[in-house]
Amino acid sequence: MAKPGITTDEIDKVVYQEIVSRGAYPSPLNYCGFPKSLCSSINEIICHGIPDARPLQYGDVVSFDVSCFVGGVHGDNCGTVIVGDNGDDAKDNKFSEVVSADRIERSQLLVKAAREALAAGIEVCRPGACLTDVGAAIHQVCDRYGYDTVREYRGHGIASEFHCAPFVKHFRNNDKLKLQPGMIFTIEPMVTENKADNVLWEDGWTVATKDGGRAAQFEDTVLITDTGVEILTLPS
């Protein structure tokens, strides 16, 4: 759906209809006053962007954070796309005449790093591991790419409550809380191409990089099992 010309407000309406048609409810809607059914964060927006009437443009880096409540529990996940990107090399991309090949390549690399950061964080999850292991694994990926990872906004416990302990830091830290079977939480690293210093907009929700650098985010909800970890938000 994320094509040039469509608005995030239009996408929000479709997401709302898809969720309620399945007997669920969009968790963000009216949560602490949030006005929409999903978060859409474009380019320099790190997280909690509010869908609006701005048409998406070729080359926009957009994170869609979708959560729903069904059967008494919440599920939370996020992914990032590049508007108009067909996944080919920059020189073969259909929108290379609109967006420079260099910008396409940098966008693709940022999204790739964010996806790998999430995978690295999930990979270390198992009974007996510590939350510090998750943060260290994510931070290592960011270092490898020369990117930064946001400190202020973190993963969280989730089940009947939308946000609860444990809170998961996506950077090197000293949180020695040990993971135990039955724990359910999100891992949701926010990766920035420059420094992760950020500002909160006057709307009280939108978080943007201070220097205007772009951000990408991937998120899954995971369950610690007796032998490892299960991703609960994989497509069915």
pLDDT in tens, 186-227: 999 999 999 999 999 999 999 999 999 999 999 999 999 999
Supply the Cα-derived Rg of the chain in whole angstroms. 17
Say whether 65 counts as a known binding-site residue.
Answer: yes
The answer on whether 219 is annotated among ligand-binding residues is yes
Q: Is 76 annotated as a binding residue?
A: yes
163 is in an annotated binding site: yes
Q: What is the pLDDT of residue 235?
A: 87
Calpha distance 6→103 (Å, rounded): 21
Check residue 99 and give its pLDDT: 73
Residue 188 among known ligand-binding residues: yes
pTM for the full predicted model: 0.94
What is the second-level CATH architecture of the domain 8-231?
Alpha-Beta Complex (3.90)
User: Averaged over 141-170, what is the pLDDT?
Assistant: 98
**Domain locations in the chain as residue ranges:** 8-231
Q: Is the pLDDT of residue 160 over 60?
A: yes
